[in-house]
Every structure is written in C-alpha cells, then in structure tokens.
Amino acid sequence: MTAPSTHSKPALHNAMWPGLVGKGPDSEPPIDLDTMLRLTAETEVDGVKFDGVDLFLFEPHTSIDAGDDELKTLADKVQAKKLNIGSLVAPVWPPTGGGSAMGNEEERSQFLTQVKKACAIGKKLRDLGARKYGVIRIDSAASPGEWAKDPAGHTKRIADTFRRACDIAEGFGERLAAEGEICWGGMHSWKRNLELLEAVDRPKTLGFQADMAHTLLFTLGCNAPEDRILPDHFDWSDERTLDAAIGTMTKALRPWTIDFHVAQNDATVKGSGSHDKTGRHCLPNDPNGKMNIVRVAGAWLRGDNGEPTRAFQHICWDGCMFSNETMMKPQTWRTVLSTMIAVRHAHGWN
C-alpha cells in the first residue's frame, strides 16, 4: 500500500492510547508511553517517518492532573524524538474521573472539570512549543441504552453540556472534537451526531472527529437501525453501494469534521441488544477489513468539489485492542505508516 510521498501535508500522527485501551488487570499490562514513543519514532518507510503523536490524558501515560514540571518533561521527551503533539483525549468518562454529559449536575460538573484540565494541558503544551495544532477530543460519556430512555431530553442535555464545554475551550484557545461512535449515547449514529452538532451550534469551537472504523458501523445502523444506510445482508464485494453509503454519511458530517483517524474495521460488533453494541479496529492489512482505506479516506478528506478540504493539519492512525505482541513488532508500525503515506499521497497537499 506504500505510495511515493508527494505531499507534505497533512502531518502523519500515531495514537498513543492503544498502549492503554483494553489493557489492565483483566488483560495484558499497559505499554508505557516511552515505549510507544520509541516505536513511533523508530518507524520509517522510504525515508518518511511519523510527524507526531496524539495523546490520552490518563495514567500511566499522562495524568490529567500533571503539573508544569511533568508537562515540561513530556514536551522535552516528545521533541527529543523529533515528534509533535497533536490532539489530546480528555478523560471525560465516570471511571476516569469524569461524568455523563447527560447526567445530573454533579456528573456534568465532573465532565466539564476534565475538559477544563485537558484544555489547560493543551495550552501549556502549545506554550512549550511542543504542540502547534490539534483538538481536545470528547464524547457524551453515556451509553445509547441510557440515552434511549429519553432521546430528546438527553440530546438537549448533552448539547447544553457541550456548549458549556465550548465556553471553557474558548478560554484556552482550544477547539473540541466530538468523536462519533456507536457506543456513545446521542452520538451513536450519523444522524444523531449531526443532530447534536447542530443543536450545540458552535461550529468554530465544536466539530466532529471522524474515525474510519467507527463511522463505517454507522452505515450498518448498529445501535440505531432506523439510521442504517447500507441494505440488510449487504454484500461487501459491492464497492459501488458501499461508496454511495459512505458518501451519504460524509456529505452530512464532513463539513463538521476537524479531526480524522485513519483506521480499518471488519464490520463485526459485540453485544446483542438494540443499543449495546460496540465495534473494534483492525490492522490496515487485515484480510477481513471491509474498506479500501485510501479510497474511503478520500470521502472524508475531499469536499464535494473533489479538492482536499484542508480542514485539519494532521491525521492520526487509531488501532485499539491489539495484543502487546502485535504492537511490539516494528513491522506493525511500518504497515501502519505505509497506509498513512498512501492516504496522504492520494489526498494530501503542500
């Protein structure tokens, strides 16, 4: 999938949170940030390297309560690897110190506190010269099942919380990106994301984060069968129908998209109910992957006029839930970087 590097933009980033997500006492131990940075910095394909990393503000990587000295150490560490810091994931969920964006006032206050802390870290890293672009990533921190108990009321409440989060972000000169995913209430379908973004109505401050793996599941109506675009029993060899479905979704959400994850998906989900399914990422060369990554990325990166939107300065690879053995292999990251280079070659700019 490697292609010549003919464009310099967007910058190519690697996500650090696959070293944390799905790791822990019931699984494998986390991969520390130093190791993830080393693996990223050492990866090279035809003379091209990763330009930077996106971070999850959660221990044992980076504490959301990190002080100035810790952030200076982080900035120095990343810059020593000749990498930039891009987008930051705010730990807005209840298990990480946050709270539901559609919850009671205490829960919403906890959500907003985490947003404020993340924005402060983002600004500090900018002041240190280690971060020149990127967003603060958020979601509703609530399940589709809970949301479904009062759809209109809960969407209204999430929108109000997000507007308050926008006020906070603007005070730090930051932008927020809401990551649509089938497991987040009020953000679990392409139509619900559009509805929420329009309800918040702060396009200069709040946009959409499109992850190719997560958004593919929107076309299947997972957790929102009423919003399904692809036909039932879809034949994945029918690329024309798939492209049309993705085109319907991206036409609605692309104008809002300010952060982008290159990813692959095998279209499988876990969970059996109507609102409790969740998906998974695949490696870019997974034989069960359903997308031609380069072609589908173009639906997000190019506007209706066929020209690159240039809506963000970097794109990031996201691939969670891989084994430590897989992530410790240098070839894994060479394959990822080759894919990123191909995407930039096809849809980038100078």
Domain coordinates in residue numbering, the chain: 11-347
Per-residue pLDDT tens over the stretch 8-55: 999 999 999 999 988 888 889 999 999 999 999 999 999 999 999 999
CATH architecture for the domain at 11-347: Alpha-Beta Barrel (3.20)
Residue 137 pLDDT > 60, yes or no?
Answer: yes
Task: List Cβ neighbours of 200 (8 Å cut-off, separation of 6 or more).
Answer: 159, 162, 163, 166, 206
Total count of residues recorded for the chain:
350
- Looking at the DSSP bridge assignments, the partners of residue 349 are 9
- Tell me what the pLDDT averaged over the chain comes to: 95
Average pLDDT on 310-326 reads 94
CA distance 219 to 329: 33
Q: Which burial class, exposed, middle or buried, applies to 195 when counting CB atoms under 10 A from its CB (0-12, 13-18, 19+)?
A: middle
The answer to whether the CB of 12 falls within 8 A of the CB of 315 is yes
Strands 48-49 and 44-45: antiparallel
Spatial separation of the C-alpha atoms in residues 255 and 294, rounded to whole Å: 20
Model pLDDT for residues 166-211, shown as the tens digit of each residue: 999 999 999 999 999 999 999 999 999 999 999 999 999 999 999 9
Separation of alpha carbons 345 and 44, rounded Å: 16
Residue pair 183/217 in contact by the 8 Å Cβ criterion? no
Name the pLDDT band for 4 (thresholds 50, 70, 90).
low
Buried-exposed string 70-98: b where 16+ CB fall within 10 A, e elsewhere: ebeebbeebeebebbbbbbbbbbbeebbb
Q: Taking 50 as the threshold, does the pLDDT of residue 274 lie above it?
A: no
Of 23, 114, 54, the closest CA to residue 315 belongs to 54
- Give me Rg for the CA atoms of the chain: 19
On the question of pLDDT at 277 being above 70, the answer is no
Residue whose C-alpha is closest to residue 53's, from 68, 42, 66: 42
pLDDT of res. 1: 47
Q: What is the 8-class DSSP label of residue 134?
A: -
Q: Flag the least confident range among 140-144, 193-197, 259-263, 267-271.
A: 267-271
Query: Bridge-partner residues for 206, per DSSP?
Result: 176
Question: Each residue of 43-66: pLDDT tens digit?
Answer: 999 999 999 999 999 999 999 999
What pTM was computed for the model?
0.95
Alpha-helical regions (H) of the chain: 33-42, 68-80, 105-127, 144-147, 151-171, 190-200, 212-218, 239-253, 293-301, 324-327, 330-347
